[in-house]
A and B are shown apart, each in its own frame.
Chain A
């Protein structure tokens, strides 16, 4: 078995003193690897051959990314703003500032409403659970979400809508057993390279599975496809409606499965009826013949695997389109058996855990905010008054949290391990919110990011190599990471920072005991297990001992819904459902009247154009995305020499036709302008569909020592994007904006 390995220059395998078990936090695949330690320092990495997810293989970001952690500009002490400048201070001063302001804000009614917590998808489960309890039981605020809102909220929302609760049904092993793979807006070659390796192994082997790919760009994945559907950005739902129409028209439906295990077939059939291949061609710009061929492949597959990611999640009608992929599998009875799988993917290493623990806009244990019994369970577990746990509406989503900060209603915004100054839409607005005098911004990170540069208090934290904890991927595999080396200087584990805050705030339960009694990673994990007991994400069979030297342990078994019974019963479900067009929530009474009886819902709706479409003034469609060499805003990968060399700076992908028309060639600088801002980038002429341009979103300004453009050519893709979001998942639209382009001269 091949174990990918990379060691620092001059270091041999024999020199390594210890190999410490860990897993990737630079992408969402859930790859297990061991970190090489010598003289108390990280000197390399080696894939874990026993791991069920990656079997010893490594993503390029993991091969080199550990080097970035030793960058000399690591934060080693807290910083506070004095006289307009960030200066180093000690932990007591920094925490004291946050705690004093917190206590001040909590005086008087509605104090809970003055706090906002914006976390990430890159910390450990234990850290999220602690934060969730601080927020929901300590302070009692609904204003807690994370950057997972930007990448995988739609996965969770679609799973809840269709199946009653969160929880991806498939297993990565389905790649090995399927006869057809469909990738819906998922450039897996650049986002989960090891999963792509697994698919490539199948594509190169006997019994090559057929491949259907929906993507506006001619990605490495699209190049391998039997059918590539270069769908116009923003029209995914029309495409899916057309595919399902073909399936139904041709009788490629498992009628017994549909009759026994689903609700809503008649409505679905009548909604999709009008989406003929010709109509789909008109709306989506995809050849009608290709739609028919794709539908035929999907309709005649015996073991169909689908994956979905940002091309669907960050686009127009995201939840509706993602639900249609669920519907595809329900209509064909392709759920819960080997090869018949479905991954509503995650975009970050531990995004799964924020949804499980409630550190994002969910309730812990996949519980339903609108179910009084679920609230009572949490109140009993934490020994607090049920009224403390906000449950009058869904928890506030990220864009709402930032809106409340913009209004001056939220006065303390605590941002952990994420960089909204580069990753949220409409960056000029975001910078302005963070700079507000009235807002105390606390930023917890490894380095001085663009967001940290605008903060009032900066807390120096430890990387995943420097602390212990667990994390879970999209096929529900739990991994343990053990602390390999010490964090630099006075940097602290995020768990310790949150526990310290809870102690200083003196959060108490109704018996007057400390609300939070756990004190380290393992005791936190044990506390979380109790919260998860009896819920779909039940962790009670997992312990740190079992995770050590393991291939990774799944919750829920290898696959979910193996008997076609779903989690839709009203007492158990995580949601009473939402209208796809408006996000309006169903009442409990309405939901009970549907009498789901363990059946899945075939929700669908009509296609509607994006809120912003090209016009005469801005005739091009902008879509944004990723490169394999960088993760998010390059906080770590941008400090790793090999990755920087591979992808040093921003670019804009332009179709050859459009490049000609604009009078630009390879390397010439193009200026893109939307209603919100501008970006300047050198051109790459590629196979992106005509009328669409692509810009990677990784490139901010920290390496210019700035939080924003500050007079220099702007290059962050999100200068251009729109402040709008899916009505159900509340995930922002990063994939559709209208821009005009002008040549700026030779590059």
Chain B
């Protein structure tokens, strides 16, 4: 089944997102709420990736060859200052959106494959990913006016 590849994509996206949360939190550690929340959400991403592992293994056994351009690179490192914070959080938002849609599609496949265990994992993780998106959006909206209109 091609599902294996989407599981692979999702797994890698979650790992990349977790890593990105850590990097952004570290780069903006003087935004103390961003620092703490990014660390927390990175751990959440780690758990999401872990919970996928058994399914990736199971479906990977009979998978065809990986297609070209399966993965996209959405994050190329952190930036500085108030505008840099907006850009970095915005990148995290795109990466979390990638995971969000991947979860949805994997959930669709789980239904197609009648895999209730996978569906349960999808439902739990999708909810947390949705909250990650919500936090990023709230935080971006708070920061934008000062960063874009006021800051030098």
- By a beta-carbon cutoff of 8 Å, the part of chain A in contact with chain B is 109-110, 112-114, 142, 390, 392-394, 396, 399-400, 403-404, 406-409, 579, 581-586, 608, 611, 723-725, 727, 730
Contact = CB atoms under 8 A, between A and B. Distances in A.
Most buried by B among A409, A579, A582, A608: A582
B32 A409 contact: no
A400 B100 CA distance: 30
A4 B31 CA distance: 49
B30 A406 contact: yes
A161 to B, nearest CB: 15
Given A392-B141, A579-B134, A725 B32 contact: yes
Given A109-B149, A110-B149, A110-B150, A584 B134 contact: yes
B131 A409 contact: no
Nearest to B81: A407
Interface of B: 30-33, 36-37, 39-41, 82, 131-132, 134-135, 137-138, 141-142, 144-146, 149-152
The B interface is mostly helix, strand or loop, or mixed, namely helix
A579 B44 CA distance: 15
B149 A113 contact: yes
B146 A727 contact: no
A398 B2 CA distance: 51
A584 B142 contact: no
Given A112-B150, A403-B32, A583-B33, 9 more contacts: A109-B149, A110-B145, A110-B146, A390-B145, A396-B142, A409-B151, A582-B135, A608-B40, A723-B32
A581 B131 contact: yes
B82 to A, nearest CB: 7
B32 A585 contact: no
Nearest to B128: A581
B32 A393 contact: no
12 contacts: A109-B149, A113-B149, A142-B145, A399-B32, A403-B31, A408-B152, A409-B146, A409-B152, A579-B135, A586-B134, A611-B39, A724-B33
A582 B37 contact: yes
A724 B138 contact: no
B146 A582 contact: no
B36 A407 contact: no
A451 B135 CA distance: 34
Nearest to A393: B142
Nearest to A730: B33
Nearest to B32: A723
A393 B140 CA distance: 10
A268 to B, nearest CB: 16
A611 B36 contact: yes
A426 to B, nearest CB: 9
B82 A584 contact: no
B82 A409 contact: yes
Given A393-B141, A393-B142, A582 B131 contact: yes
Contacts of A724: 32-33, 36
A727 B142 CA distance: 14
